[in-house]
Amino acid sequence: MKPLVYTSAFKARAATVSTMFVDALTNFGNDQFRYEPTNADIKEAGPVLAMDALRYSRNIPSVQMQWEVGPEVTAQFVESLGIASAAYIMSRDPGVTLGLGTVELNLTRMTQGYSAFAQQGTVHPATAIIEIRDRDGQILYSRQANGPAATTPLTPAEAYITHWIIEGNTNPATNIFWGPRARLNDPSGHRRQAGFKTGTTDDFKDVSAYGYIPGSLTVGVWMGNANQQPMSNKITGGLFSADGPLYLWHDFMDRAINDPWDWNGHQAVPNVPFNRPPGVQMAAVCRFSGMSPTDACGPTITVPFLEGTVPPPDNVHHADEWHPDGCFDIVQYVQQEGRPQRWVEAATSWADRLNNGEDSTYTSKYGIRALPGRAGFGEPICGELLATPTPSPSPPGCRGNQQSCEPEPSCLPFPFPCATPTPPGTTMLDSGTPTDAAALIPVFAVPLILGATPYVARLARRRH
């Protein structure tokens, strides 16, 4: 469901692929009724661009995106795809949770909706009847002549924007988590530009996968219990959508499009790309803020935009009291975008915890970790750095003659415990331990390696 939320926002010009969100624990409710969604990895990734949030299926940014566009707009878009009526969706009172799969939708209709990305914005309504003949062989009905008419809920440009994002999920160079597992090749070994997205609901009640190749086949997979009971309520024992549905989708697609069948004329489906259509312009943006580049914002990337939606120049990289050489001001970004005060508070908390680790005045139930393949968060992040006094060197002979030792400097002038200074070029991760920014990828590689173990075993079984 997340791609449909994002697409509705892109279509409404409420966001772009480089809109920045702060992936941090946020209360989207109120003091009496708190709503604080978490991510599947129970971690906070801090500043993330919309394209990365969608590729890696981050829940908190997806709720933020739903707030930006509004559930009514998304519901109308879903109806235009032929998935479900807006009245039905809104009757479920989804609020900002729609992108997290809180409204039950039909598998066939959802697959039909994803076909809009495969067909450059056109939807061919799903039908099970190809032809009806009478006993004399006369054609009474044919899909071609009498079937449901195609619709165009998206322009090719609007469809391309979302395709460009989720096509990265089958590219190992773009998504290091799902890319190697979801990659589809043609018979010659060249990668197909397949789009793909998974979904997992609470308690592993539903796991699903949807994907397509441009100009051809779209396939949806759902796994769950017929009585709607959860498959597991343990995060270590549940069946994630990246387990069963992903493999089933991949293996079915691989055979369906590459092996000879009646439906494909007994030859592999051609490897056709979704080329960038008119109405889309490529532009450089700052890698971490998502705004148009300036000399102060650091590394840049080139991404697609609908014409007229390229963001303004970056103004959130500047010096502050604690960073005279410049820093990335995520709090200012959230404020100037007009987002709720609770989002500002969440960004402030995340920045302080990153900068000050265990000495931070803020706490969270969850640790901080960069997205896969990302070496950091665009540090330094603007915000207060808590002062840590430096002890004077001990006089000679201090260890052997305590009477000759001068008193060590006290932390009393500061309302925080003493802390070891954080070396330059390091960040504070889950435990508050300094970690070199270059080591961020190896840190994430640990769960990747552990997570890969059952997949290696599965592949081994398949070969025997």
Question: What are the DSSP calls for 143-166, one per residue?
Answer: HHHHSPPPB-SS-HHHHHHHHHHH
In this structure, is residue 273 part of a structural domain? no
Distance separating alpha carbons of residues 112 and 167, to the nearest angstrom: 17
| Domain carrying residue 221 | 2-131+141-258
Which residues 6+ apart lie within 8 Å of 69 measured at CB? 5, 8, 9, 12, 14, 15
Angle (CA) 437 441 446, round 5°:
125
Return left, alpha or beta for 139; rule: phi > 0 is left, psi -120 to 50 is alpha, else beta.
beta
**Domain harbouring 58, CATH code:** 3.40.710.10
Residue pair 336/387 in contact by the 8 Å Cβ criterion: no
pLDDT in tens, 290-311: 999 999 999 999 999 999 999 9
Reply yes or no: is the peptide bond before residue 407 cis, omega within 30 of 0: no
**Which of 344, 187, 321 has the alpha carbon at shortest distance from 254?**
187
- Looking at residue 171, the DSSP 8-state letter turns out to be -
Tokens of 261: 């069948």
Distance separating alpha carbons of residues 208 and 128, to the nearest angstrom: 22
Backbone dihedral angles phi then psi of residue 87, each to the nearest 5 degrees = -60, -45
Contacts 24+ apart (CB under 8 A), 86-93: none
Backbone dihedral angles phi then psi of residue 211, each to the nearest 5 degrees = -165, 170
pLDDT in tens, 165-215: 999 999 999 999 889 999 999 999 999 999 999 988 776 788 999 999 999
Considering just the CA atoms, what is the radius of gyration of the chain in Å? 26
In this structure, is residue 148 part of a structural domain? yes
Helix H, strand E, coil C: the string for 332-400 is: HHHHHCCCCHHHHHHHHHHHHHHHHHHHCCCCCCCEECCCCCCCCCCCCECCCCCCCCCCCCCCCCCCC
Instruction: State the CB neighbour count (10 A cutoff) for residue 388.
Output: 16
Relative to beta strand 206-212, strand 218-224 is: antiparallel
In this structure, is residue 417 part of a structural domain? no
Tokens of 281: 């312009």
The single-letter code of the amino acid at 366 is: Y
Segment (H or E) for 179: helix 179-182
Segment (H or E) for 132: strand 131-133
Q: What is the pLDDT of residue 419?
A: 33
The single-letter code of the amino acid at 1 is: M
Residue pair 98/71 in contact by the 8 Å Cβ criterion: yes
Which residues 6+ apart lie within 8 Å of 66 measured at CB? 5, 74, 96, 97, 98, 99
Distance separating alpha carbons of residues 212 and 245, to the nearest angstrom: 14
**Which of 180, 120, 124, 190 has the alpha carbon at shortest distance from 156?**
120
Q: What is the pLDDT of residue 196?
A: 97
* Count of domains observed in the chain: 1
Decide: residue 392, CB within 10 A, 0-12 exposed, 13-18 middle, 19+ buried.
exposed
In this structure, is residue 299 part of a structural domain? no
Q: What is the mean pLDDT of each run of 10 residues along the chain (464 residues)?
A: 97 98 96 92 96 97 98 98 98 95 94 98 94 96 94 98 98 92 97 94 83 97 88 63 88 97 94 97 98 97 98 98 97 98 98 94 92 91 80 41 35 30 37 34 31 40 38
Residue pair 407/346 in contact by the 8 Å Cβ criterion: no
Segment (H or E) for 422: none
Residue pair 416/362 in contact by the 8 Å Cβ criterion: no
Strand partners, 196: 211
Residue 298 in 3-state DSSP? coil
In this structure, is residue 401 part of a structural domain? no
Distance separating alpha carbons of residues 357 and 432, to the nearest angstrom: 4
In this structure, is residue 238 part of a structural domain? yes
Relative to beta strand 434-436, strand 20-23 is: unpaired
